[in-house]
A and B are shown apart, each in its own frame.
Chain A
Amino acid sequence: MEAEQTELGFDPFGFQPEFLKYVLPVTAWLYRHYFRVEARGLERVPDQGSVLLVSNHSGQIPIDGLMIGTGLLVDREVPRMARSMVERWVPTIPFVSYVLARCGQVVGTRENCRLLLNRGASVLVFPEGVAGIGKTYDRAYELQPFGLGFMRLALETDTPIVPISVVGTEEQMPAIANSEKLAKLLGSPGFPITPTWPFLGPLGAIPLPVKIHIDVGEPMHFEGSPDDEDRIVDRKVERVRGRIREMIHEGLRRRRGVFF
């Protein structure tokens, strides 16, 4: 796999392709049997060269990122490793910090993303950020505002953008509220309260076995200066956001139920 790891098996971000052999069987099982993911258009992600995968974000815990990454590895003829950009809070969590790094996840700074794109990697971003994943269930499938950083990097490095929609994850952990006080106490970006979490303890944090639909759109190419004012870059970002919104609505129309 193109990971530019060194002779010792690690890339500078701590990604160790060898490590995937412990993780992939578990996530592949989740992909096939627990969430019964139905993915369309995974082959639209180019086999090589830099690409930005842009997806909606939902469901309190980033199952969407995990399933997109797994799908690209197990559900394509040519497996493609996606490096996702994670919240800056992640490196401060014990175990999660290095396990995610060994699986190829990278702290979401602009410089890190630029480095990966220049090395020809496929980078998965969630431009809604915490605002998307931490929504309460009454706002399910409402796309939150997108950050502009990914578009500026795409323009700068001449990288195609592949829009992705994930449907189903909103229902895996429907949140009633988000406790800012508890989040502050734990130093985390959010603390969801669901019907089962935290009342049933750790078991309450297990996501429901919803059926997940992943749709991958045609690559989009943009031109322009990466240093244009926000207004101009935002117009390009809105085209990506609009496309993802359409794909989400299509997905919602097509699905027969939450669990089937």
Chain B
Amino acid sequence: MSGESSSKILVTGIAGHFGRAVARRLHRHHTILGIDRREVPGLPKDIEVLNLDIRRRGIEDVFRLNSFDAVVHLNIMHDPRARQETHHSFNIAGTQKIFELCARHEVPKIIVLSSADVYGPHPSNNQLLTEDAPLMGGQNFGAIRDLIALDMYCNTFFWRHPEIETVILRPVHIVGRVDNAPSRYLRLERPITILGFDPMVQIVHVEDVVTAIEESLHPGVRGVYNLSGPTPVPLSELLRRLDRRPLRVPEPVARAMLKAGWSLKVTDWPVPEVDHIKYACMVDDSRARRDLGFQHRYGIDAILEEVDAKPLL
């Protein structure tokens, strides 16, 4: 890290697995204040955490009482079971609130964690999508539209407030000790795959994404950055390395199974996510490697080791 050793950073959504990973790393060099509406288990004692919903008034006082050097905005809900309206209001209204407070209180830097899923898996995708590719993820998958709207909102903010350095990170599937869809999928003993399809996939280690956040804190860094880890591999290769026995089913059967499973609450996989194990959605992260100096440290095997490691807290 450069000289900004005593800067004060607000981390929203600190209770999540990823939020805690960010906090654990950043608190070594920075003063961290975390907010979350959930309880926060097991964080170092010097991290102050407020139990707050970012849509509430109380958040305004947090900005009045503190002068932040940066905000790391991770408070983005990805719960497929939550109602669409809740999802939308939490993600978009919440983000808007945080951004407007940052503008009013002159926070010089905001870092947002979006995702490479905003591009969406499509048969006609370029093999490696750059940051200016259209965000087509919502075409067949409604539940991701709020993430796209959020990403776009942050992009407009970038132009409305040139005095603030806005950084939007779009990592590929973060895999490891986190509770997101790709990690849950890889933890399954018998994951479903689509008969006759084996797309190339990119995965990245939690700690490598945290490193990218750290690198984004450097003054002068702004813009949209794709992030990916080691070189892409076919989905079947990941499953082979994990010793999984995939259940290969024809696509219509897979969709019907998921539909029934979803209705009966046996599974939490939304049916349109089938496209993710059918088509490629990969990114070119050369901009991040050039501008941020980003380099992934964890290879495929190191990432996969974490999938089955100790149970999540």
Contact = CB atoms under 8 A, between A and B. Distances in A.
B196 A95 contact: yes
B300 interface: yes
Interface string A188-224: 0000000000000000000000000000000000000
Interface string B242-273: 00000000110000000000000000000000
B126 A111 contact: yes
A115 B128 contact: yes
Contact of B127 (A7, A12, A96, A98): A12
Interface in A78-103: 88-98, 101
A98 B123 contact: no
A115 B279 CA distance: 19
B124 A12 contact: no
Nearest to B279: A91
B126 A13 contact: no
Interface stretch (B8-16, B71-79, B231-239): B231-239
A113 B183 CA distance: 33
A115 B127 contact: yes
Given A8-B233, A8-B300, A98-B234, A107 B200 contact: no
Interface residues of B, number: 25
Given A12-B282, A94-B251, A107 B127 contact: yes
A109 interface: yes
A88 B237 contact: no
Contact of A14 (B126, B194, B200, B230): B200
A193 to B, nearest CB: 26
A94 B197 contact: yes
Interface string A1-19: 0000011101011100000
B131 interface: no
Contact of A98 (B124, B125, B198, B282): B198
Contacts of B199: 14, 98
Contacts of B234: 10, 14, 98
* Interface hub of A14, A90, A96 (most chain B Cβ within 10 A): A14
A115 B125 CA distance: 14
A12 B231 contact: yes
Contacts of A111: 126-128
B295 to A, nearest CB: 16
Nearest to B202: A12
A102 to B, nearest CB: 8
A12 B282 CA distance: 9
Contacts of B82: none
A96 B123 CA distance: 13
Interface in B169-228: 194-200
A106 interface: yes
A7 B230 CA distance: 10
Given A8-B237, A12-B282, A91-B279, A109 B126 contact: yes
A148 to B, nearest CB: 19
A112 interface: yes
Interface string B281-294: 01000000000000
A89 B123 CA distance: 7
A121 to B, nearest CB: 13
18 contacts: A10-B231, A10-B232, A12-B127, A12-B232, A14-B199, A14-B232, A14-B280, A91-B123, A94-B196, A94-B251, A97-B196, A98-B198, A98-B234, A107-B123, A109-B126, A111-B126, A112-B127, A115-B128
Interface of B: 123-128, 194-200, 230-234, 237, 250-251, 279-280, 282, 300
Across the A-B interface, the 3 shortest Cβ-Cβ residue pairs: A94-B196, A91-B123, A6-B231
